[in-house]
Amino acid sequence: MHIDFETPDQPEIIALIADLDAYQLTLYPPESVYALDLASLKQPNVLFAVARGADGAALGCGAMVVTPAFAEVKRMYVRPEARGQGLARRMLTLLEQAAAQRGAALYTLETGPSQPEAIALYERLGYQRCGPYGDYRDDPLSVFMRKAVQ
């Protein structure tokens, strides 16, 4: 499997993001889904990684929005059939390294309580729960996490 930075506006990646959106909406109401649209993912301050299988098929994606205050993890998703192989960990590590090269001193993310596997992954990678940050409001369907760059 290979992970690299790509543009999100490829048909296969758009379909992958649509799968992520559909999955999120099975877990949370629309007002508790804080997803970036395709135009936002194409901005110059956004790092976008894609994991591909040996056959070249897109198996997962993840983004990191780098701002002066923090770098925020967004759009992390691995197709169900590819889970359990370390792809999310590898994608997040790549995103963190690239964000650090851009000067990020703090990584943040918002996920939800209905995704315990994601929360466990983030905790294993050093993220700790925190309160809302940026423009987020306190939401019982949100879990906010942060990790200081070492």
Q: Are residues 99 and 107 in contact, defined by beta-carbon separation less than 8 angstroms?
A: yes
Per-residue pLDDT in tens (0 to 9) along the chain, 150 residues: 899 999 999 999 999 999 999 999 999 999 999 999 999 999 999 999 999 999 999 999 999 999 999 999 999 999 999 999 999 999 999 999 999 999 999 999 999 999 999 999 999 999 999 999 999 999 999 999 999 987
* Bridge pairing between strands 143-148 and 2-5: unpaired
Provide the 3-class DSSP secondary structure of residue 82.
helix
64 HSE (CA, 13 A, CB side):
26
- Determine contact, residues 108/133, Cβ cutoff 8 Å: yes
**Residues in Cβ contact with 81 at an 8 Å cutoff, skipping those fewer than 6 apart:** none
| CATH number of 2-148, picked from 3.40.630.30, 3.40.50.20, 3.60.70.12, 3.20.20.220 | 3.40.630.30
Predicted local confidence at residue 109, as pLDDT = 98
Q: What is the per-residue pLDDT for 114?
A: 96
The whole-number pLDDT of residue 1 equals 86
**Residue given tokens 């110059």 in the structure block:** 44
